Amino acid sequence: MSYFYLEFEKQIKPLDDTIHVLESKGSNLSKEEIHSLAAHKLERKNLMENIYSNLTRWERIQLARHPKRPYSLDYIKYFSKNFIELHGDRHFGDDPAVISGVGSFGDYKVVWIGQQKGRNTKENLLRNFGMMRPEGYRKALRIMKLAEKFSLPVITLMDTIGAYPGIGAEERGQGEAIANNLFHMSGLKVPIISVVIGEGASGGALGIGVCDVMLMMENTWYSVISPEGCASILFRDANRAEDAAEALKPIPSDLVEMGICDDIIAEPNGGAHRDFHSSAELLKYALLNHLNSLSAIAPEDFLERRIQRYDKLSHFEEVK
């Protein structure tokens, strides 16, 4: 089997293996084997429902990091068969950690911007593990400005452990590039929908995450810092990441309660990687619904709507 099992999923493996052996026989199954296959599938279904309906925050974060999980290019190629990728920031170079380009989506022509991780060591070195450099944020903004010029909606897909913290990135203005994106995205005169498809860590995600509507796949997280980073700071012990995850409240249900996330996209039992087609179709349905709603908004109204949206995300109290 090609599945990778997280610790809390390992009890599913024997059933998967048995089902795989039986299914590999094709039409040569005996009556007893047909009944056995059906029984094992039902047992697996019940087991998975029990496991995935009771996930802790830390377990959901682990699912967001699953190596088989769909990445930005998987969704973009599924949604836009005619996708054309655009490269470079016209200042320094290209950043393969972010995919950007144009394509058809339903009845719309849209701009796609997505953070991209790699499937293996070679790809991860090329994609820099999904960590964008300054040229990546500037490339993304350049493409967003093209979207504004041609009145195209922008859809961003967030999946990163953070912006790249290397010396070269800092020398080329990492912080400024992210801040500049926040500034210009706030006033962009076209709809912006952002989707967390995996990990949404800190300013690295926020640099392409200012939006009119924010969606999150069910098994994802979005926070100012990773649980490991938080544990290292608060508890002086990265091994207490599970405790930090509970304190951060970074999963979709938490963020809906806070007013940050607008909609949670359901995933099949086991996560999006278990049934990519179903996951992609559910996301497609939600995206098209929100595009239909946002298309009725006048271009000059987007700035004020975003100001109101982000004004409501936090509050403070004066204590005497």
123-182 pLDDT, tens digit each: 999 999 999 999 999 999 999 999 999 999 999 999 999 999 999 999 999 999 999 999
Looking at the chain, which runs of residues are DSSP E strands? 84-85, 98-105, 108-115, 154-160, 192-201, 213-217, 221-223, 263-265
Q: Which of 3-12, 24-33, 93-102 has the highest mean pLDDT?
A: 93-102
170-221 pLDDT, tens digit each: 999 999 999 999 999 999 999 999 999 999 999 999 999 999 999 999 999 9
Report CA-CA distances (Å) from 114 to 1, 13, 69, 139, 166.
29, 32, 15, 12, 21
pLDDT band with cut points at 50, 70 and 90 for residue 1: very low
276-292 pLDDT, tens digit each: 999 999 999 999 999 99
| pLDDT value for 93 | 97
What would the two tokens of residue 301 be?
């109204």
SS3 content of the chain, % helix, strand, coil (to 5): 50, 15, 35
Mean pLDDT of 227-252: 95
| pLDDT value for 18 | 94
Report CA-CA distances (Å) from 205 to 1, 6, 78.
33, 25, 22
d(CA 300, CA 243): 44
61-83 pLDDT, tens digit each: 999 999 999 999 999 999 999 99
For residue 181, with 0-12 CB atoms within 10 Å meaning exposed, 13-18 middle and 19 or more buried, which class applies?
Answer: buried
pLDDT band with cut points at 50, 70 and 90 for residue 266: very high
User: Are the C-beta atoms of 169 and 34 separated by less than 8 Å?
Assistant: no
pLDDT over threshold 90, residue 319: no
pLDDT band with cut points at 50, 70 and 90 for residue 315: low
Three-class SS of 109-157: EEEEEEECCCCCHHHHHHHHHHCCCHHHHHHHHHHHHHHHHCCCCEEEE
Fold of 61-311: 2-enoyl-CoA Hydratase; Chain A, domain 1 (3.90.226)
What is the maximum alpha-carbon separation in the chain? 78
| pLDDT value for 136 | 98
* Segments making up each domain of the chain, as ranges: 7-54, 61-311
What would the two tokens of residue 295 be?
């298309």
d(CA 174, CA 99): 18
